[in-house]
Amino acid sequence: MSKQQTDLPPENPIVMGKLGAAFGIRGWLKVFSSTEDAESIFDYQPWFIQRAGKWQQVELESWKRHSQEIIIKVKGIDDRDAAALLTNCEVVVDANSLPSLEEGDYYWKDLIGCKVTTSKGYELGKVVDLMETGSNDVLVVKANLKDAFGVKERLIPFLNEQVIKKVDLATGFIEVDWDPGF
Protein backbone atom coordinates (compact mmCIF):
# COMPACT_ATOMS: atom_id res chain seq x y z
CA MET A 1 0.00 0.00 0.00
CA SER A 2 1.36 3.44 -0.86
CA LYS A 3 0.05 5.12 2.21
CA GLN A 4 3.38 4.81 3.96
CA GLN A 5 4.18 5.70 7.55
CA THR A 6 7.26 7.87 7.57
CA ASP A 7 9.63 9.20 10.17
CA LEU A 8 10.40 12.07 7.83
CA PRO A 9 7.45 14.46 8.05
CA PRO A 10 7.37 17.44 5.74
CA GLU A 11 10.02 19.87 7.00
CA ASN A 12 7.83 22.91 6.38
CA PRO A 13 4.24 21.60 6.17
CA ILE A 14 1.63 23.59 4.30
CA VAL A 15 -2.00 22.54 3.82
CA MET A 16 -3.04 22.35 0.16
CA GLY A 17 -6.47 20.81 0.61
CA LYS A 18 -8.55 18.25 2.43
CA LEU A 19 -9.79 14.74 1.75
CA GLY A 20 -13.55 14.45 1.66
CA ALA A 21 -16.00 11.58 1.88
CA ALA A 22 -15.55 8.22 0.23
CA PHE A 23 -16.94 8.11 -3.30
CA GLY A 24 -18.36 4.85 -4.60
CA ILE A 25 -17.35 1.40 -3.40
CA ARG A 26 -13.87 1.03 -4.95
CA GLY A 27 -11.88 3.32 -2.64
CA TRP A 28 -12.21 6.69 -4.34
CA LEU A 29 -12.34 9.88 -2.26
CA LYS A 30 -13.47 13.43 -2.86
CA VAL A 31 -10.70 16.01 -2.51
CA PHE A 32 -11.14 19.71 -1.77
CA SER A 33 -8.31 21.82 -3.14
CA SER A 34 -7.11 25.07 -1.56
CA THR A 35 -5.13 26.00 -4.66
CA GLU A 36 -6.30 28.84 -6.90
CA ASP A 37 -7.01 26.41 -9.74
CA ALA A 38 -8.42 23.30 -8.06
CA GLU A 39 -6.56 20.88 -10.35
CA SER A 40 -3.23 22.54 -9.48
CA ILE A 41 -3.21 20.55 -6.24
CA PHE A 42 -1.77 17.68 -8.30
CA ASP A 43 1.26 19.80 -9.24
CA TYR A 44 2.47 19.58 -5.64
CA GLN A 45 3.91 16.22 -4.64
CA PRO A 46 4.43 14.25 -2.53
CA TRP A 47 1.29 14.51 -0.43
CA PHE A 48 1.30 13.82 3.28
CA ILE A 49 -1.54 13.25 5.72
CA GLN A 50 -1.42 13.00 9.49
CA ARG A 51 -3.34 10.28 11.30
CA ALA A 52 -3.05 9.37 14.97
CA GLY A 53 -0.10 11.76 15.31
CA LYS A 54 1.91 10.03 12.58
CA TRP A 55 2.73 11.36 9.14
CA GLN A 56 1.92 9.18 6.15
CA GLN A 57 2.97 9.82 2.58
CA VAL A 58 0.11 9.31 0.13
CA GLU A 59 0.69 8.14 -3.42
CA LEU A 60 -2.08 8.73 -5.93
CA GLU A 61 -3.08 6.04 -8.36
CA SER A 62 -5.47 8.25 -10.30
CA TRP A 63 -7.68 11.31 -10.19
CA LYS A 64 -10.53 12.68 -12.28
CA ARG A 65 -13.28 15.25 -12.39
CA HIS A 66 -16.75 14.04 -11.53
CA SER A 67 -19.35 16.76 -12.16
CA GLN A 68 -18.06 19.76 -10.22
CA GLU A 69 -15.91 17.68 -7.88
CA ILE A 70 -12.46 16.13 -8.02
CA ILE A 71 -12.11 12.54 -6.89
CA ILE A 72 -8.90 10.61 -6.25
CA LYS A 73 -7.80 7.01 -5.95
CA VAL A 74 -5.00 6.41 -3.42
CA LYS A 75 -2.76 3.43 -4.17
CA GLY A 76 -3.60 0.55 -1.88
CA ILE A 77 -7.04 1.86 -0.89
CA ASP A 78 -9.48 -0.41 -2.69
CA ASP A 79 -12.77 -0.22 -0.84
CA ARG A 80 -15.15 2.33 0.61
CA ASP A 81 -14.39 1.47 4.26
CA ALA A 82 -10.62 1.99 3.83
CA ALA A 83 -11.24 5.26 1.96
CA ALA A 84 -13.62 6.49 4.67
CA LEU A 85 -10.78 6.28 7.22
CA LEU A 86 -9.02 9.10 5.33
CA THR A 87 -12.03 11.44 5.33
CA ASN A 88 -11.21 14.92 6.74
CA CYS A 89 -7.43 14.40 6.61
CA GLU A 90 -5.64 17.53 5.43
CA VAL A 91 -3.53 17.21 2.27
CA VAL A 92 -0.11 18.58 3.22
CA VAL A 93 3.03 19.17 1.17
CA ASP A 94 6.47 20.43 2.11
CA ALA A 95 6.54 24.16 1.39
CA ASN A 96 10.23 23.81 0.49
CA SER A 97 9.11 21.94 -2.64
CA LEU A 98 6.90 24.77 -3.91
CA PRO A 99 8.11 26.35 -7.16
CA SER A 100 9.74 29.77 -7.05
CA LEU A 101 7.46 32.62 -8.04
CA GLU A 102 8.05 35.58 -10.30
CA GLU A 103 8.73 39.02 -8.85
CA GLY A 104 5.50 40.47 -7.44
CA ASP A 105 3.85 37.07 -6.87
CA TYR A 106 3.62 35.65 -3.34
CA TYR A 107 2.43 32.57 -1.58
CA TRP A 108 -0.14 33.44 1.06
CA LYS A 109 1.96 31.59 3.64
CA ASP A 110 4.77 34.10 3.08
CA LEU A 111 2.53 37.10 3.79
CA ILE A 112 1.13 35.76 7.08
CA GLY A 113 2.88 37.50 9.97
CA CYS A 114 4.15 40.46 7.93
CA LYS A 115 3.83 43.87 9.60
CA VAL A 116 1.65 46.29 7.67
CA THR A 117 2.39 50.02 7.72
CA THR A 118 0.91 52.88 5.72
CA SER A 119 3.07 54.94 3.37
CA LYS A 120 2.93 57.66 6.03
CA GLY A 121 4.35 55.35 8.72
CA TYR A 122 1.17 54.42 10.61
CA GLU A 123 1.37 50.82 11.91
CA LEU A 124 -1.81 48.90 11.10
CA GLY A 125 -0.86 45.50 12.56
CA LYS A 126 0.13 42.09 11.21
CA VAL A 127 -1.32 39.92 8.45
CA VAL A 128 -3.17 37.06 10.16
CA ASP A 129 -5.03 35.66 7.16
CA LEU A 130 -5.94 36.24 3.53
CA MET A 131 -9.28 35.89 1.79
CA GLU A 132 -10.18 35.30 -1.81
CA THR A 133 -13.05 37.51 -2.96
CA GLY A 134 -13.18 36.71 -6.64
CA SER A 135 -11.90 40.04 -7.91
CA ASN A 136 -8.80 40.21 -5.71
CA ASP A 137 -7.25 38.77 -2.58
CA VAL A 138 -7.70 40.62 0.72
CA LEU A 139 -5.23 40.91 3.61
CA VAL A 140 -6.75 40.40 7.06
CA VAL A 141 -4.66 42.68 9.29
CA LYS A 142 -4.99 42.66 13.08
CA ALA A 143 -3.54 45.10 15.59
CA ASN A 144 -2.65 43.93 19.11
CA LEU A 145 -5.02 46.48 20.61
CA LYS A 146 -7.65 48.79 19.21
CA ASP A 147 -5.78 51.70 17.69
CA ALA A 148 -6.47 55.44 17.85
CA PHE A 149 -9.30 54.92 15.34
CA GLY A 150 -10.91 52.20 17.48
CA VAL A 151 -10.03 49.56 14.88
CA LYS A 152 -8.55 46.17 15.73
CA GLU A 153 -8.98 44.41 12.38
CA ARG A 154 -8.79 45.71 8.82
CA LEU A 155 -9.49 44.11 5.46
CA ILE A 156 -7.08 45.55 2.90
CA PRO A 157 -7.36 44.63 -0.79
CA PHE A 158 -4.18 43.13 -2.22
CA LEU A 159 -3.97 45.39 -5.26
CA ASN A 160 -0.37 45.79 -6.40
CA GLU A 161 0.73 49.39 -6.96
CA GLN A 162 -2.73 50.76 -6.21
CA VAL A 163 -2.88 49.75 -2.52
CA ILE A 164 0.16 47.51 -1.96
CA LYS A 165 3.20 49.72 -2.42
CA LYS A 166 5.98 47.44 -1.22
CA VAL A 167 6.37 43.87 0.00
CA ASP A 168 9.67 42.94 1.64
CA LEU A 169 9.53 39.30 2.69
CA ALA A 170 13.11 39.41 3.99
CA THR A 171 12.11 41.89 6.71
CA GLY A 172 8.46 40.81 6.95
CA PHE A 173 7.14 44.23 5.97
CA ILE A 174 4.29 45.39 3.74
CA GLU A 175 3.76 49.07 2.92
CA VAL A 176 0.26 50.10 1.89
CA ASP A 177 -1.48 53.24 0.69
CA TRP A 178 -4.44 52.94 3.05
CA ASP A 179 -6.39 55.30 5.27
CA PRO A 180 -5.93 54.06 8.87
CA GLY A 181 -9.42 55.32 9.72
CA PHE A 182 -11.00 52.93 7.23
Domain 108-176 in CATH 2.30.30.240? The answer is yes
Domain with CATH 2.40.30.60 in the chain: 13-96
Asked whether residue 1 carries a pLDDT value surpassing 50, the answer given is: no
Return the closest-CA partner of residue 17 out of 60, 53, 52: 60
What's the confidence (pLDDT) of residue 2?
Answer: 46
| pLDDT band per the 50, 70, 90 thresholds, residue 7 | low
| Upper half-sphere CA count for residue 68 (Cβ side, 13 Å) | 0
Domain with CATH 2.30.30.240 in the chain: 108-176
The pLDDT of 16-33, averaged and rounded, is 95
Q: How many whole angstroms separate alpha carbon 56 and alpha carbon 89?
A: 11
Q: What is the pTM of this model?
A: 0.70
The pLDDT of 37-43, averaged and rounded, is 90
What's the confidence (pLDDT) of residue 4?
Answer: 53
Render pLDDT for 56-84 as a digit per residue (tens, 0 to 9).
999 999 999 998 899 999 999 999 999 99
Q: How many whole angstroms separate alpha carbon 115 and alpha carbon 142?
A: 10
Q: How many whole angstroms separate alpha carbon 153 and alpha carbon 181?
A: 11
CB 1 within 8 A of CB 57: no
What's the confidence (pLDDT) of residue 123?
Answer: 92
Asked whether residue 49 carries a pLDDT value surpassing 80, the answer given is: yes
CB 124 within 8 A of CB 114: no
CB 61 within 8 A of CB 74: yes
CATH class of the region 13-96: mainly beta
Asked whether residue 26 carries a pLDDT value surpassing 50, the answer given is: yes
Render pLDDT for 166-181 as a digit per residue (tens, 0 to 9).
999 999 999 999 998 8
Render pLDDT for 100-159 as a digit per residue (tens, 0 to 9).
888 878 888 899 999 999 999 999 999 999 988 878 899 999 987 777 677 788 999 999
Asked whether residue 6 carries a pLDDT value surpassing 70, the answer given is: no
